[in-house]
Amino acid sequence: MKREESSPVKMINIHKGFGGVYALKGVDFLVGPNETVGLIGDNGAGKSTLIKILSGVYPPDEGKIYLEGKEVRFSSPKDAIRLGIETIYQDTAVVNQLSIMRNIFIGREPTKHYLGLIRLLDIGRMAKESMKALAGVDLRLRSPAVPVEDLSGGERQGVAIARAMYFKTKILILDEPTNNLSVKESQKVLQFVEGLKSQGISSVFITHNLYHVYPVADRLVILNRGKKIGDFKRKETSIEELTKLMTLS
C-alpha cells in the first residue's frame, strides 16, 4: 500500500487567505502511521495556519482533507477532536489553576450518581486514571490533586501529552512544545514525543528550532511564505540544509 493511501492525514492543495494576504498557497501535507513529522519554517511561513485548518479552527479556502482515506470537513475544533485530532498549543495546553486530574479530564469528566438523582464528579476514578495516564508518559508526580501551576514547564507539557494518549488521540499536534523551556525540560518533552509512536499515535511537531525537532522527527516538511518547499526523510537531509531552506528569501 502506498504511503498516501495509508496515511492517517492527507491534506491536498490547501489554500488560505486573510484579507487579500495569502497564508497558504497549494500546500500538500501528509502524516503517516506512527510517524512524527516536523513542520518547520520561519515566522510567517504558514505553519500555524496549516495546523489550525487541520485542527478545525479555520476552514480552507480551497483544498481537501482526508483522515484515514475519508474526506472530512470541520466546522469547529470539536469536530477534529471527535475524529481523533488533538492540538497542544504552547500557551493553552493546560489550565494552570486546575489540578492535574481536572486537566487530564477537562471537558470529559466522569460522573457518578448521588442519591439516585444527582450526578457528581467521580473524583476517585479521576485520581486513579490520572496517575495511570501520567505513568504512561513516565511522569512521576506526587498527587493528581496538585495544581498544574506548581509544575515545571516540561511537566505541564507532559500532562497535556498524557491527556491525549489517555483519550486515544490518533494525531497529536504539538505547537512549539519546547518553547521557553530549559535544556533539561526540553529533553524531557522530546522523550514524551518519542514515546507517542509506541502508543500508535502519529504527531506533528511545529517549531522553528531545528535542534529540537531534528532528533525526534521521521520526516521534515518546510514551509516558506505559504508554500511547501521541502519534504525530506530525516536521513535524507541535515540541519544545515534545512536551515538554508528555511532562510530562503
Cβ-in-10-Å burial (0-12, 13-18, 19+) of 71 comes to exposed
pLDDT digits (tens, 9 = 90+) for 156-202: 999 999 998 888 889 999 999 888 888 988 998 998 898 888 888 99
Residue 235 counted as domain residue: yes
pLDDT band at 2 (very low <50, low <70, confident <90, very high): very low
Q: Which residue has the higher pLDDT, 197 or 6?
A: 197
| Structural domain total, the chain | 1
In tens, the pLDDT along 9-39 reads: 999 999 999 988 999 999 999 999 999 999 9
Q: Tell me if the pTM is above 0.75.
A: yes
Residues 178-215: b if buried by 16+ CB within 10 A, e if exposed = beebeeebbebbbebbeebbebebbbbbbbeebebbbe
Mean pLDDT highest for which of 56-70, 118-132, 179-193? 56-70
Is a pLDDT exceeding 50 seen at residue 3? Answer: no
Phi and psi based region of residue 56 (left: phi greater than 0; alpha: psi -120 to 50; beta: remaining): left
Q: Which domain holds residue 190?
A: 3-88+159-246
Question: Which CATH number do you get for residue 19?
Answer: 3.40.50.300
Backbone angles phi, psi at 58, to 5 degrees: -120, 145
In a domain, 84, yes or no: yes
Q: What are phi and psi of 77, to 5 degrees?
A: -60, -25
In a domain, 177, yes or no: yes
**What is the reported pLDDT for 35?**
95
Look up residue 50 and give its three cell numbers.
Answer: 496549516
- Measured CA to CA, the distance from residue 21 to residue 234 in angstroms comes to 32
